[in-house]
Amino acid sequence: MNRLFGCLVLLCLLSFSALAQDEELTTHIRIGHFSLDAGAVDIYLDDTLYAENVRLGTLLDWRRVPTGNHTVTITRPGSPLDNPLLVPVAVDFLAEAWQTLALIGRRTDGTLRLHRLTEDYSPIQRGETRLSIFHALVNNPPLNVQANTTEIIRLLGYPGTLRGDSDGLATVNIIPNRYDLAFTLDDGGVLLTIQDINLGARRHYFIALTGALENIIPVIASTDPEMPDADTIVTPTAADNAPTSAVPTLTPTTEVTNPPQPETTATPDVPPVMAGDGQVRLRVGHFVPGAPDFAIYLDDELLTPAIYPTLTSYFTLEAGDYTLAVVLEGESLSEAILTQSLSLRANSVITLMAIGSLDTGTFALQPIEEDYSPTDRHQTRLAIFNAIPDAQFIDLIVDNTLVLAQGLSFPNSFAGAGDGFIAFDMLAGVYQLTVETNGVPLLALSEIRMGAGRYYFLVAAGTSNTAFFVLESVNIADMQP
C-alpha cells in the first residue's frame, strides 16, 4: 500500500511538473516583411500556413508559440511547400522571449534571408518609454537617430555590416513625449523625419526602415509589454503624423463629477453640421470659478452662451481672422470684459477654454487644438486640460503607478508655460485616473472604461480645494465627415 501511495504521489508530481512546463514553455514571435523585391509571400511554420499574401511593409501581430526547434518556410502566394522562395529556416525559439523574424535583403542579388531579432521586453521603468529602431535598408550606410535634435542612436548599421554579429537593431529608453524623429547619415544629411510621433509611457515602440534611401518606408508598431497577449498596433507609415480629419458638429456625451454647483442651466443644443474643406470647428468651455455665465461674440454676432462648468457643442465656421468678445450675462456688447483677435486655421478643431479669475484680472480664453484623427486598432485617446488656477502644475496618474502626464502647467501661469493641454493614445481598457499637485491628490476617477476608437477629454476644474472633473467621451468614427 505504501509503495502504491508513493507511486501515486510521484505520478501526480510528475504530471504537475509536466503541466507547469507546458504552460511556461512558450514564446512570443512576430514576422515582418522588409524585403524590397521579394514580392508578396506566404509564410509557413512547421508546414502549417502561418500567414498568407504578406507584402512589403507588413509587421504581423505577436503570437505565442511553443518553444524549441521550428521550421519557417517562405513561398510565393499559393505555391507549394516544396517550391520555397528561399531555403527553409530552422529556428530555435527561446522560452518567454520576444523574437521578430524579419524578411530582409534582396532576391535579385541573393541576399534575401530571414533574420531573427531578440527584442528587449524587460520591465520599463515609471516615466520611461522604449524605442527600438531596425535598419532594414540593404546595401546602405549606417544611420543616426535624433529625437527633437538630440542624438539617441549612433551608427546603426544593416545587419552584419559594421561587425559580423551586429543585428541591425538598437534600443533606447527615453522620456514619454511627442518627438520629431530624424534619421540621418554621418555627414548630417537627413534621410527621413517622422514628425510629432507620440511615444506613450511604458510602451515598446518598434520602427523598421525598409525600402530604398530615396524612398524609405517606415514600419511602426506599438506594444504594451505588460499585456503580453495584446495585439501589436501596426502602421505602414507614420500614422501619428496624420493630419486632423474634418469633423461634423456633434453633441458629445459629457459627464460632470462632483460639480460645485448642483444646478446648471443646460447649454442649448446645436444641430450637427457637416463642414467642408477649409472650415473650422470651434467650441467654448467655461471653467472660471465663481464667474457668472457669459456669451461669446464673433465679429459682433452672437456665437453661443457659455455656462459654468460645461463645454458647448462644436460650431462650424469659415477659416480666417475674427474679433472675439466676451460679454457677461445680462450685459451689452459694448460692456465686453474681453475683446481680442482670433485667427482660425483651416481644417482645425479648436476649443476656447475660459480660465482664470475675474477678481484677480487673470481671466483669459485659452485656445487648444484637438485631434480627432483615427486611433490605431485597440487604442483610445485621452486628453487632459488643467483649468485649476491655483494648481500651477498637475500630474495625471493611471492605476496609481503610471505617470501619464507630469508637471502639466496651468496655461500662462509663468513664462514659457504651455497651453495646459496634452493628449495620449493608449490601449483601450478600464483605468483608475488620479490627478495630483505637488504629490497631493486632487481628484480620483475610478473604473473608467475607455473604449477603442474613442476620444476622452478630461478637464480638471474648480480650485485646489473644490476640484472636480468634467469628462467628455465621443466615438471618433462618428466625428469623421
Tens-place pLDDT, residues 92-147 = 998 889 999 999 998 888 899 999 999 999 998 878 899 999 999 988 899 999 99
pLDDT in tens, 180-196: 999 999 888 899 999 88
pLDDT in tens, 419-476: 999 998 888 888 899 999 988 999 998 888 889 899 999 999 999 999 998 999 999 9
The pair phi, psi for residue 368, each rounded to 5°, is: -130, 145
Classified as helix, coil or strand, 239 is helix
More confident residue, 267 or 441: 441
Q: Are residues 163 and 304 both part of a single domain?
A: no
For residue 386, the tally of other CB atoms under 10 A from its CB is: 31
Per-residue model confidence (pLDDT) at position 227: 58
Q: Are residues 82 and 148 both part of a single domain?
A: no
Per DSSP, 232 falls in state P
Q: Are residues 191 and 52 both part of a single domain?
A: no
**Secondary structure (DSSP) of 163-193:** STT--SEEEEEE-SEEEEEEEE-TTS-EEEE
- Whether the per-residue pLDDT at 247 is higher than 60: the answer is no
Q: Is residue 195 domain-resident?
A: yes
Q: Are residues 113 and 128 both part of a single domain?
A: no
Q: Is residue 11 domain-resident?
A: no
pLDDT in tens, 320-353: 999 999 999 989 999 999 999 999 999 889 999 9
Q: Are residues 226 and 290 both part of a single domain?
A: no
Residue where a domain terminates, one of 55, 89, 118:
118
Per-residue model confidence (pLDDT) at position 255: 36
Of 180, 172, 174, 125, whose CA–CA distance to 153 is shortest?
A: 172
C-alpha cell at 2: 505504501
Q: Are residues 371 and 426 both part of a single domain?
A: yes
HSE-up of 75 (CA within 13 Å, CB side)?
A: 18
More confident residue, 232 or 94: 94
- Whether the per-residue pLDDT at 69 is higher than 50: the answer is yes
More confident residue, 412 or 474: 474
Q: Is residue 75 domain-resident?
A: yes
More confident residue, 214 or 217: 217
- Whether the per-residue pLDDT at 272 is higher than 80: the answer is no
Flag the least confident range among 60-74, 243-257, 266-280. Answer: 243-257
C-alpha cell at 237: 507609415
- Whether the per-residue pLDDT at 237 is higher than 60: the answer is no
Task: Give the total number of structural domains in the chain.
Answer: 3
With bands split at pLDDT 50, 70 and 90, how would you rate the model's confidence at 263?
very low
Asked if 177 contacts 157 with a C-beta cutoff of 8 angstroms, the reply is no
Per-residue model confidence (pLDDT) at position 24: 54
At a CB cut-off of 8 Å and minimum separation 6, what does 182 contact?
Answer: 145, 146, 149, 190, 192, 193
Per-residue model confidence (pLDDT) at position 165: 65
- pTM of the entire structure? 0.48
C-alpha cell at 477: 468614427
Residue where a domain terminates, one of 217, 241, 265:
241
Give the domain extent around 451: 253-479
Q: CA-based diameter of the chain, in Å?
A: 103
What CATH number should be reported for the domain holding residue 232? 2.60.40
Please state the rounded mean pLDDT for residues 208-225: 87
- Our measurement of the distance from residue 143's CA atom to the centroid of its chain's CA atoms, rounded to an integer in Å, reads 25
Q: Are residues 298 and 408 both part of a single domain?
A: yes
Cα 206 to Cα 78: distance, rounded to the nearest angstrom: 30
**Beta strands in 24-67, from DSSP E residues, in sequence order:** 26-33, 41-45, 48-54, 58-59, 63-66
Cα 384 to Cα 456: distance, rounded to the nearest angstrom: 8
Q: Is residue 248 domain-resident?
A: no
Could you give the C-alpha distances from 464 to 354, 394, 467, in angstroms and in order? 17, 10, 5
Q: Is residue 389 domain-resident?
A: yes
Q: Is residue 307 domain-resident?
A: yes
At a CB cut-off of 8 Å and minimum separation 6, what does 82 contact?
Answer: none
Q: Are residues 335 and 458 both part of a single domain?
A: yes
Residue where a domain terminates, one of 75, 100, 118:
118
Q: Is residue 165 domain-resident?
A: yes
pLDDT in tens, 140-180: 899 999 999 889 999 999 998 876 568 999 999 998 888 99
Q: Which residue's entry shows cell 540621418?
A: 184
Classified as helix, coil or strand, 448 is strand
What is the residue-averaged pLDDT of the chain? Answer: 82
Please state the rounded mean pLDDT for residues 252-262: 35
Q: Are residues 86 and 150 both part of a single domain?
A: no
Could you give the C-alpha distances from 452 to 61, 200, 428, 447, 481, in angstroms and in order? 17, 16, 5, 16, 19
Q: Are residues 413 and 325 both part of a single domain?
A: yes
For residue 302, the tally of other CB atoms under 10 A from its CB is: 12
Q: Is residue 103 domain-resident?
A: yes
Q: Are residues 393 and 435 both part of a single domain?
A: yes
Q: Are residues 225 and 267 both part of a single domain?
A: no
